[in-house]
Amino acid sequence: MIVLGIETSCDETAAAVVDDSRRIRAEAVLSQTAEHRPYGGVVPEIAARSHIDHLDRLIGEVMAKAGIAYRDLDGVAATAGPGLIGGLIVGLMTGKAIAAVHACRFIAVNHLEAHALSARLTGAVPFPYLLLLISGGHCQLLVVEGVGRYRRLGTTIDDAVGEAFDKGAKMLGLGYPGGPAIEAAAATGDPDRFELPRPLIGRPGCDFSFAGLKTALVHAVRAAAPLDAATVADLAAALQTAIGDVLCDRTRHALATYRAARPAAPTLVVAGGVAANRYLRDRLAALAAQAGVTLRIPPPRLCTDNATMVAWAGIERLQAGLGDRLDAPARARWPLDPAAAPGAKA
């Protein structure tokens, strides 16, 4: 089975060809960061126009690199949500058109499910497993029971973890996107010079909160102004360490909750753009070793947004007998666990 994947939910235009033997035949990601940088964040209208400008060419490139014809495709998988609606429509319409013209299956993929299943492309990870999903728009702990079957244990009650990185970087004058910039600056910083809070640590449950951390950083930045390079590094290190403490504490709680219901040692999977962070990968590896659980984190390029994971989610869904009609809608919001508390961030 060979599937073409398309990703356009935010500021990466991406296409990939993947097969069911887990071979990535071709992949390409075009980041729009340079176009959004002057505005300090993603501008939806610019993102949608840029997807239109580049997607067709990118698809042509991966098809050529994979060395296959469109008639060889078993399916086309496109991200249908959640994300910025303009970009989603561009990718979805393109995917539907290719599927219609070449009479192959179409799969409307949930971007969060693509992140959730990405670890099964790069290694054998049987269901069920515990998932820490950390990205620009989400911060959740979920039990992944199977394809399309998710149970949410906790989510953020305010900002997503990627937002904490991005807003923190903005305050420190490190620009956009913030995650990689904070990681680089923190490498030479002293994490103990500034004291930042660890919201919700030690509290029951598996929810997250990052708003208080952001406010505390604002105050620290004001008190330390004007910032020299060493101070920026120290503040970045303090922020990254506080985020690491919060993620580890909440994941520890989730592992305990998960284990209370299941005797077998769980596998912990971490996915989403923030999982590209080396420091956090090391912290979570230490946590997993201490807790005696297997840890699986896809390589960094498959943690940040890409179409390889979308193609793979398409394969998993086709294998599970799930496909979509050509009238599948784009969805700005699309929670993985529809039964999770109403009103909470998806």
Burial code of 101-134, b = ≥16 C-beta within 10 A, e = fewer? eeebbbbbbbbbbbbbbbbbbbeebeebbbbbbb
Please state, in angstroms and as integers, the Cα–Cα distance from residue 154 to each residue in 13, 93, 140, 271, following that order: 30, 33, 6, 15
- Residue 34 C-beta: closest distance to ligand KG4, Å: 15
Q: Which one of the spans 95-103, 129-137, 180-188, 237-245 is the region binding Zn ion (CB under 5 A)?
A: 129-137
Report which of 5, 107, 93 is spatially closest to residue 48, judged by C-alpha positions: 93
* Per CB under 5 A, 166 contacts Zn ion: no
Q: Which one of the spans 23-31, 182-190, 298-306, 322-330 is the region binding Zn ion (CB under 5 A)?
A: 298-306
Q: Which does 189 bind (CB under 5 to 8 A by kind): ligand KG4, Zn ion, none?
A: none
Binding site for ligand KG4 (CB under 6 A): 10, 135-137, 162, 165-166, 177-180, 183, 272-274, 276-277, 304-305
* Per CB under 5 A, 305 contacts Zn ion: yes
Residues 134-153: x where in contact with Zn ion by CB under 5 A, - otherwise, as a string? -x------------------
Nearer to Zn ion, 118 or 241 (CB): 118
Nearer to ligand KG4, 95 or 179 (CB): 179
What's the CA gap between 346 and 341, in Å, rounded?
9
CB 196 within 8 A of CB 217: yes
* Per CB under 5 A, 8 contacts Zn ion: no
Query: In which region does residue 148 sit, left (phi positive, over 0), alpha (psi from -120 to 50) or beta (all else)?
Result: left
What's the CA gap between 18 and 66, in Å, rounded?
9
What's the CA gap between 337 and 332, in Å, rounded?
15
Nearer to ligand KG4, 105 or 136 (CB): 136
Binding site for Zn ion (CB under 5 A): 135, 305
